[in-house]
Chain A
Amino acid sequence: MATEADFRTRLQDWLPKLVLAPSFAVTLLFVYGFILFTIVLSFTGSKMLPKFTWVGFENYEKLFALPAWNTAIVNIAIFATLYIVICTVIGLMLAIFLDQKIRGEGMLRPIYLYPMALSFIVTGTAWKWFLDPGIGLERIMHQWGWESFSFTWIKDGEMALYTIVIAAVWQTSGFVMAMFLAGLRGIDNETLKAAQIDGASNWQLYRRIVIPLLRPAFLSAFVILSHLAIKSYDLVIALTGGGPGRATEMPATFMYSYTFTRNQMGIGASSAVIMLMTIAAIMVPYLYAELKEKK
């Protein structure tokens, strides 16, 4: 009996780790193994399929000499900044407004949220249409009598990037709203009431008390938005295809085209490594802070 009980407790000790083990093993292989593979690939002369002929840093040198890569880096910096800031501002505003005992909240919420449910093909087709001067907004305005109205951003190399910001904000700001709303609903009303008794105005209430309390929601929103920004591939392809010219090239579209359509897998892999390093630079400090705090 004693040995059996002993065995059972030992099993109980090991069981949690056994349950976790497959996920961990799978992550090691499919995430870190593949990252390692990509790093190795970036030092090889691979063209169409992986080939292990060592070329040192040649791919990286070529990469940074390419004007399109520089465009992609500038674009992602502009895009990510605008996208994250605008989404956060709109999301926070809508959440605070929705939190004011609004009639019809049950109807408004799904309306704000639904764009997140659509695939990029759907989003891209709809927005491409709407923004096209020949068939969309500009033409409607002309038909409605506003002849001088002009909105040709999507056809303009300087402005096309901002149409991607519009569509991307449209797609995810509702989701950010939901995260902030959840945060607001989690705030204890007693704190607010106490401040009100002290004579604080609504504005002060939100600025001094509520927004600082939403810190976790801000962090979650920042992480989710920045990873969506860096991975932004689908929307660009669907909306502008990287054009006009290559004006809206992003690191993700750059990487994809060099790896899969230009048969320069080595350069594609080196751009992927740079992307991964960027993601790590943003995520690792965040993860470290989050996890350390919770211990």
Chain B
Amino acid sequence: MRLFGKTLTAAAVLVMSTSLVMAEDVEVLHWWTSGGEAAALNVLKDDLATKSIGWVDMPVAGGGGEAAMTALRARVTAGDPPTAVQMLGFDILDWAGEGALGDLTSVAAAEGWDTVVPTALQAFSKADGKWIAAPVNVHSTNWVWINKAALDAAGGKAPETWEELVAVLDAMKANGITPLGHGGQAWQDATVFDGVVLGIGTDFYKAAFIDLDPAALGGEQMAEAFNRLIKLRSYVDDNFSGRDWNLASAMVINGEAGMQMMGDWAKGEFLKAGKVPGTDFVCIRFPGTQGAVTFNSDQFAMFNVEGEGAVAAQAAMASAIMNPTFQSAFNVVKGSVPARTDVPNDAFDDCGKKGMADLAEANGSGKLFGSMAHGHAAPAAVKNAVYDVVTAAFNGEYADGAAAAAALAEAVAAAQ
């Protein structure tokens, strides 16, 4: 209590309203159904239970929430939305545009969310100045996970530039392993491409993916980015198509592959296999992107619910999500970093601490960008258009980078 002066008032507001309606339920639509994720979510559920708020579970897994979003559309159209929905990036703003979301501003003001949540994140948690969603975590996507033994055999120095990266990959190839562990699914291809584009330059990333500037999308730098992506394809084994990302992680863990370019959720796989950051594996930013971060953030979007009790339960849930203790507990389990910058990093491992420091640095220097691959740079239609071209390029359907860049500019224009 001593820590959170402002929380007192918020708590008072909540106690007042929740005491009127005991045993109210929140219905939560989400796709966190694997063991670790569910354990993390259970922290939230138990917390709400102490406030006499019941948890009605509506899990819909698959495809990064695609099936869940279909279910949600049916629920909203039927006039029966869930209380809270796990959601990513532009989907939140799109739903806000449809007028389907509730208003958390009073809780947010009482607890001072504005000052602790990174600005780039607030862009997705607020619409028209109103808080509409409670961010749970920040994942950053421009990570590379390297098998330490394979790296030592390939020279031992973690690559810091594109040229060094190519050198390491070549050395790994010469050592007889698959240099790059990768799964051929559109979002994984796009995740790698995020790093490649950011590596060309932070201003370029912003111009191409955030501002969607046609000149940047179809220009020479983009052609170079695609050439690099096509180059990376040559370090992937032939059996990559359709492979799940965690199987690609497993390849790196057991030394079959040298490295994987994947978001911070990959860390969980390494930890579960009993590997230690620094000794068994190394986590670095995508070469050439240190200091900048591409992120995606899981948030719980709060829908319009009817009845005073339901609204109060919803507010209590939002407050519980933003609680620093929960943020720490959840993100330690999930592998991501807290969505507020004032959470102590004691509970996190080395990679987690680095992630939190990088996030704070990028937030301060204006180099914190939404990830295109994960729907935080542009709306779904554009994102999927980018997927189409990136995946096609990765599968060798364009003659060269310039052709791919031209196709990208065209596809993005058509999707807008």
Q: Are B414 and A241 in contact (CB under 8 A)?
A: no
Nearest-Cβ distance from residue A128 to partner chain B, whole angstroms: 8
Q: Are B239 and A133 in contact (CB under 8 A)?
A: yes
Q: Which of B97, B98, B414 contacts A66 (CB 8 A)?
A: B414
Interface string of B385-399 (1 = CB under 8 A from A): 000100110110100
Q: Which residues of B contact A132 (CB under 8 A)?
A: 239, 242
Q: Are A49 and B76 in contact (CB under 8 A)?
A: yes
Q: Considering only CB atoms, which chain B residue lies closest to A65 in the complex?
A: B414
Per the bound structure, the CA–CA distance linking A261 and B62 in Å amounts to: 12
Interface string of B51-82 (1 = CB under 8 A from A): 00000000000010010011001001100000
Per the bound structure, the CA–CA distance linking A152 and B395 in Å amounts to: 15
Is residue A240 within 8 Å, beta carbon to beta carbon, of the partner chain? yes
Is residue B185 within 8 Å, beta carbon to beta carbon, of the partner chain? yes
Known contacts: A154-B242, A245-B395, A246-B392. The answer to whether A263 contacts B76 by CB under 8 A is no
Q: Are A262 and B242 in contact (CB under 8 A)?
A: no
Nearest-Cβ distance from residue B102 to partner chain A, whole angstroms: 17
Majority DSSP secondary structure for residues of B touching A: helix
Number of interface residues of A (CB under 8 A): 28
Q: Are A241 and B185 in contact (CB under 8 A)?
A: yes
Per the bound structure, the CA–CA distance linking A257 and B391 in Å amounts to: 16
Majority DSSP secondary structure for residues of A touching B: loop
Q: Are A152 and B384 in contact (CB under 8 A)?
A: no
Q: Which residues of A contact B414 (CB under 8 A)?
A: 62, 65-66
Is residue A231 within 8 Å, beta carbon to beta carbon, of the partner chain? no
Interface string of B218-242 (1 = CB under 8 A from A): 0000000000000000000011111
Known contacts: A66-B414, A260-B70, A263-B379. The answer to whether A48 contacts B242 by CB under 8 A is no
Q: Are A263 and B380 in contact (CB under 8 A)?
A: yes
Is residue A264 within 8 Å, beta carbon to beta carbon, of the partner chain? yes
Is residue B114 within 8 Å, beta carbon to beta carbon, of the partner chain? no
Q: Are B242 and A261 in contact (CB under 8 A)?
A: no
Given contacts A245-B394, A245-B397, A257-B384, 18 further A-B contacts (CB under 8 A): A128-B242, A155-B184, A155-B239, A155-B240, A240-B242, A243-B185, A243-B241, A244-B184, A245-B391, A245-B395, A260-B66, A261-B63, A261-B66, A261-B69, A261-B384, A262-B384, A263-B94, A263-B381
A-B contact pairs, 26 of them (CB 8 A): A48-B94, A48-B97, A49-B98, A65-B414, A128-B242, A132-B242, A133-B239, A134-B239, A134-B243, A152-B238, A155-B240, A240-B242, A241-B185, A243-B185, A243-B186, A243-B391, A245-B391, A245-B397, A260-B66, A260-B69, A261-B63, A261-B384, A262-B380, A263-B379, A263-B380, A264-B415
Residue positions of A touching B, CB distance < 8 A: 47-49, 62, 65-66, 68, 128, 132-134, 152, 154-157, 240-241, 243-246, 257, 260-264
